[in-house]
Structure 1
Amino acid sequence: MITPRAGSVVFQNIKKQFGSFTAIHDLSLTIEPGQLVTLLGPSGCGKTTTLRMLAGLEHPTSGKILIGGKDVTMLPANERDVSMVFQSYALFPHMSSLDNVAYGLESSGLKKKEARERAEEGLKLVGLGGMGGRLPAELSGGQQQRVAVARALVLEPQVLLLDEPLSNLDARLRRQVRTEIRDLQQRLGFTAVYVTHDQDEALAVSDRIVIMKDGVIAQEGSPRDLYEAPASAFIADFMGEANVVPCDVISVEGADATIRIGALEHRVPSRNAKPGPAKLAVRPNSITLEPASGAAFPGQITHAAYLGDHVEYEVETSTGRLFVVDPAVERALAPATEVAVGFKGRGIAIING
């Protein structure tokens, strides 16, 4: 039976320079055994460099990396007890699926018969039992990715690394395969470090998300924490879009604060805010629109787009343009409609930066 040994991962004050350019600045991060942690961020933020250092494909300029309590900072990739699933799958095109999965086992010295038995087990684990004789070209993109996952898992690594594993798949397959990866990780309990630039993907698969920007950790936490309580305008906008608008905090009472935009008042979690000017992150689906004039927070629809199960609006207000997502398709509002803007109870947060 394939039983990956879940190991911890620790980055201690990691710095990585390429010549005069510093890609990673003093990064410290701990990943507990059995967690799936996603490194998320825009291109150039340092997430892939961090993964490559963990894999042993790059070495840090300073600091330490520990896997399962062992210092692996300067060890080569083949001595780290990790396996990697690449964006490009990296399958041998002339070898069958079974041979691709068995290749790493045979290279590590396992007898061919035992290697092939474990490879068969690995293919069954990812739902490809009986398909070991097919070449990669005879498989769909999703099936090829499952072969790559099986090849990594049969080595029973302490940590599974996944580098943009779904980026070559279409939208429907991405949803399917990400669900399969998450189910497999929870069932086997292995530690996984997952790199993506896709926010929905990160929200769907992660125990924790680490958002990186310019080589540092901008914020980390559970998917719900990052979505509902972003620490900055960058996090709010990166995690699923947000309208960032100025407001005034007019009172704070324990865990709640009352904010004002124009003449509209609304209660939100205080998040250590103090009375005075502040910024508010408002999710597009947390805004309500009602036809009205002379409203407490008036606006005018400048654009409306019907997208089947919802309508997207752009609304011009005194605080700037708002992006609104409204599921009420049966009463779609036309451009130039004067509206009263309101807020729902969730998806609204005071931000500090």
Structure 2
Amino acid sequence: MNNPERGAVEFRSVRKDYGGFTAIPELDLRIEPGELVTLLGPSGCGKTTTLRMLAGLETPTKGSVLIGGQDVTRMPPNRRDVTMVFQSYALFPHMTVAENIAYGLESGGMKPAEAHDAGNAGLDLVGLTGLGDRLPSELSGGQQQRVAVARALVLEPQVLLLDEPLSNLDARLRRRVRTEIRELQQRLGFTAVYVTHDQDEALAVSDRIVVMKDGEIAQSGSPRELYEAPASEFIADFIGEANVIDCEVRDLAEGQARIWVGDEELTLPARGILPGPARLAVRPNAFTVNLGGSGIEGRVVSAAYLGDHIEYEIEGPAGRLFVIDGSSTDAFSPGTSVRLRFHGSGAALIA
């Protein structure tokens, strides 16, 4: 019978101190089997420390780490049934691609011929069939990263760890490889823990994003939940850009809040916010820019035409707002008085 816990990851009341510095005050987190969870946050937030404790490269000061229901807190890395893909591909330059992939299998006791066959299967898995005889230097950066993923996957780990795996690739290649990693994870259904500081990357690959700040979980949820319903100004600004503006909650009804911003009225989920002054996180593309009528008043400070949209800086009683207008290709000139109207989604009350 299959173990329903296989591939599950748990941190139970985990704390990590370095001398007098506490990197992780207390972490409770469960990752379900087959889930791809991204640890996201700025430098020093604790995401890499968390990954290293899962890999066995760091030992918690207190608490427990479990993989597949087994306590691995004091277990050495080579017995944890996890593999890691690093930002520096860590391929052996003198070995062929096939030899790189087979190396871990042979080190684990598999016969060379079997390891070679498994290595070729790994290449098929990541779309590099027929490239096994090449050296890493003969591959592109994206292909080398796929080799690193294949080398990890052929070991059939319970959990695949990815530590900033795309940071050495250019922007266009990063988009392509992150899509390939996501498609591979969904097709094979392995559990993955992915560390990055890149918000777009996290939104693109994750089942769930865990945003960390000062060693603690600031918010956890699906990419859509975090983007559309950030819990705080920090989350709103870190997951995509957001304008944080003052508003007034007039009244509540059945969990919905009636909100006024200038002479604009909105109805949004109350999220525990009581009537009175409040704050609203508004995505740049949640506005339309108009010359007259109702809305938030402002004056165009700058306008930049970017092909399919125009980016504005608009100053007014609500502060300086960053606005992306995709409804027009004709930009209003700096100094123009405008009105901003809300449309559709993109605004949320925050604590």
Alignment map for 1:1-353 (pairs within 5 Å): 7-292=7-292, 295-352=294-351
SS in 1 for 2:329: helix
User: Secondary structure of the residue that 1:38 maps to in structure 2?
Assistant: strand
Q: TM-score, normalised by structure 1?
A: 0.96
Q: Distance in 1 between matches of 2:183 and 2:28?
A: 28
CA distance in 1, matches of 2:56, 2:250: 52
Higher mean C-alpha deviation, range 260-269 or range 23-32: 260-269
Deviation at 1:255, TM superposition (A): 3.0
Is residue 6–residue 34 contact of structure 1 (8 Å, CA) maintained in 2? Answer: no
The Cα shift of 1:25 comes to 1.1
Contact 2:285 2:324 in 1 (8 A): yes
**Alpha-carbon distance in 1 for matches of 2:295, 2:125:** 58
Give unmatched runs, 5+ long, in structure 2. none
- Contact 1:252/1:273 (8 A) holds in 2: no
> What TM-score, normalized to structure 2?
0.97
Where in structure 1 are there 5+ consecutive unaligned residues?
Answer: none
Give the Å deviation of 1:331. Answer: 2.2
Q: Counterparts of 1:216 and 1:330 in 2: how far apart (Å)?
A: 43
- Aligned equivalents of 1:256 and 1:16: distance in 2? 40
Name the % identity.
67
Please give the secondary structure, in 1, of the residue aligned with 2:45.
coil
Residue aligned with 1:330, SS: coil
Q: Structure 1, residues 229-283: CA drift from partner, whole Å, max 9, x if none?
A: 1100000010001000111101111132111122222222222221001100000
Contact 1:96 1:135 in 2 (8 A): yes
Write the distance in 1 (CA, Å) between the matches of 2:342 and 2:239.
19
RMSD: 1.2
Distance change in 2, residues 1:296/1:136 (3 Å): closer
Runs of 4+ in 1 over 4 A off after TM superposition: none
Secondary structure of the equivalent of 1:50?
helix
Deviation at 1:329, TM superposition (A): 4.1
2:164–2:196 contact (8 Å) kept in structure 1 = yes
Task: Report the 3-state secondary structure (helix = DSSP H, G, I; strand = E; otherwise coil) of the residue aligned with 2:91.
Answer: coil
Could you say what secondary structure the match of 1:303 adopts? strand
Secondary structure of residue in 2 paired with 1:328? coil
Could you tell which deviates more after superposition, 167-176 or 215-224?
167-176
One-letter identity of the residue aligned with 1:303: S
Q: Separation in 1 of the partners of 2:16 and 2:272?
A: 34
Q: Deviations over 1:173-219 (max 9, x none)?
A: 11111111111111111000000111111111111110000000000
Cα distance per residue 1:72-127 (max 9 Å; x no partner)? 00111101000000000111111110000000000001110000100000011001
CA contact (8 A) 2:6 2:69 kept: no
> CA–CA distance in 2 between the matches of 1:185 and 1:330?
39
The number of residue pairs the alignment matches comes to: 347
User: 2: distance between equivalents of 1:6 and 1:316?
Assistant: 54
